[in-house]
Amino acid sequence: MKAPGRWLADRWLTIGSPIALLVLWEWASATGILRAVFFPRPSTIAWHLRDLAADGTLWGHVATTLVRIAWSFSLAAVLGVAIGLAMGLWRRLREGLDPVFAVIYPIPSVLFLPLVSFLVPPGEIALVVTTAVTSFFLIAFTTTHGVTQIDRLVVEAAQHYGARGWRLFAAVLLPGALPFIFTGLRLGLGFALIVVVAVEIVSTSRGLGALLWLSWQVLKVEDMYATFFVIALLGALLSYGLVALRARLLPWVPDVGDR
């Protein structure tokens, strides 16, 4: 265990830079360099955030968004890992699907909303499916790469020592791909948050994206920033959560295990 002083010495810049930014902002808004109508002081925003939390408005929106992310991410993760593994294992499948994926993947996910609405019941289900699209591709891509990058010599050695079929998959190919699958999941989770907020802005009256947009439209700028802050915090928590989980689950990955 490191002493707290040492810990702080290592990270003062990481911790200090956002604080410095907030102080600078506070000062600029207070002195009128920034127009307080559009850039209210962070302290004011904090009070508004407290009010939003206190009267319960915020929690309803947070819950709605989190439930949507949970569904979208689960959908993307299950399909993405399954199809990614299949593509990694079978070259033919990879060759067939690669060009299709390459074309669909760069399309901004929000644009799928109308298309998805024809295919599945519009509303909540369409929103969840739309949100899952980009995450799915990211997870499938990284999973495929995770399988194909496994050292051939290691696979050969495993076969030499009797690993065949299911054993080869479960004891060699899957663990070999796991670090990449985790990277895909982390990226996918981040994108699920980005896309769900975007879809909420264009299509519903609930969720953090809707709250943000609504606040802006009625010029409750402080509430808009407060929502902003909550979304950012949510993204950071989800991302670090997965990183922590990875360190627990994959102790054999050098750069994670040693930190």
Partner 1 sequence: MALDRISLQVDAGEFLCIVGPSGSGKSTLLRVLAGLHRQSAGEVRIEADRPGTPLTAMVFQEHALLPWRTVRDNVTFGLENRGVARAEREARAREMLAMVGLARFARHYPHQLSGGMKQRVGIARALANDPEVLLMDEPLAALDAQTRTIMQEELLRIWATLGKTVVYVTHSLEEALLLGDRVVLLTARPGRVCQIYSVDLGRPRGLEVRGSPAYGALLETIWSRLREEVLRAIAADRGADSEPAGG
- Residues binding partner 1 (CB under 8 A): 151, 153-154, 156-164, 167, 171-172, 175-176, 178, 250-252, 254, 257
Residue nearer to partner 1 on the CB measure, 99 or 254: 254
**CB 53, min distance to partner 1, A:** 43
Task: Name the amino acid, one letter, at 223.
Answer: D
Tell me how far, at minimum, the Cβ of 170 lies from partner 1, in Å. 11
Taking the least distance from each CB to partner 1, the nearer of 163 and 234 is 163
Residue with smaller CB distance to partner 1, 118 or 161: 161
Q: Which is nearer to partner 1, 29 or 183 (CB)?
A: 183
Q: 243: which residues sit within 8 A by CB, 6+ positions away?
A: 186
Half-sphere exposure of 121 (CA within 13 A, CB side): 3
Quote the CA–CA distance of 114 and 130 in Å, as a whole number: 9
Give dist(CA 249, CA 245) in Å, integer: 6
Q: Measured from the CB of residue 181, what is the shortest distance to partner 1 in angstroms?
A: 13
Give the integer Cα–Cα distance in Å for 243 and 57. 30
How is residue 110 annotated by DSSP?
A: G
Smallest distance from the beta carbon of 188 to partner 1, in angstroms?
22
